[in-house]
Each structure stands twice: as structure tokens, then as C-alpha cells.
Amino acid sequence: MITARDLFVLVNKDRARVLTAPNASVTAVRLLDELPRHPMVTIPTVVKLLQTTKPTATKAVGVLEQLGVLQETTGRRRDRAHHVERAVLVTLAIIVLSAAPVTAGVHGEVSRGGRRSDF
């Protein structure tokens, strides 16, 4: 069974690898911080998410890809998508480390601390 501590250690190891990488950037670290909430990203998504330029977003994704944090999934040269290598663990981290309890309704809606959101 994976514990919250295991997930915390895993995320911190990735963070340490990014911070010590010779080609690391502030944008790469910011993107790493967003990956638990956005485990699959494209360059346009990163541009919007981090409010940055396309070249800067491309470099940040490239850094995380070189470090093995992100993996390209489409095999195309254009319109590529990247996902977190350990996407399932990151998703679990959101649930386990969330302060608000998560409950599912009959029709697939999810409630977090009294707020309703549909997936």
C-alpha cells in the first residue's frame, strides 16, 4: 500500500532532480508544481497554465522530459502530448494529501468539502 509519506518522498525526489539539473529553469519548477493537478499537458496547455511564451513552455517540458518526469505519448512531431510518468501516483497524491474529504455521488459527481464538481 502506498502511503502519503511515500508520495511526498516521490514528489520531493523529482523536485530535487529538477532543481539540481544544469538546464533547469524557474518555469520547469513551476510546471513540476502543477503536474499533480495537470498530469497530462501539451505545450499550449503549459503556455496558458503558466502564462508564459511557447519557447519557454517548450523548454520547461523538455527539461522535465529529459529528467524522466514527463513522457511524450503521441509519437508525433507536432501537437505532442506529455504525461507524468507516474500519473497514477500523482493522482493518488491529490486524493491522499487533500485536506477535504472526497465523496462520490450516484451520478458520478464528486464532492470536495461541500463543493460539487463533475469529472
Domains of the chain by start residue, with CATH: 4-118 (1.10.10.10)
d(C-alpha 38, C-alpha 32), whole Å = 10
Helix 54-66 / helix 26-34 crossing angle, nearest 10 deg:
70
Amino acid at 113: G
The pLDDT of residue 110: 45
What is the pLDDT of the chain when averaged over all its residues? 77
pLDDT of residue 100: 52
pLDDT tens, residue by residue, 27-82: 999 998 888 788 889 999 999 999 999 999 999 999 999 988 888 887 777 778 88
Q: Which three cell numbers stand for residue 14?
A: 523529482
**pTM confidence score:** 0.67
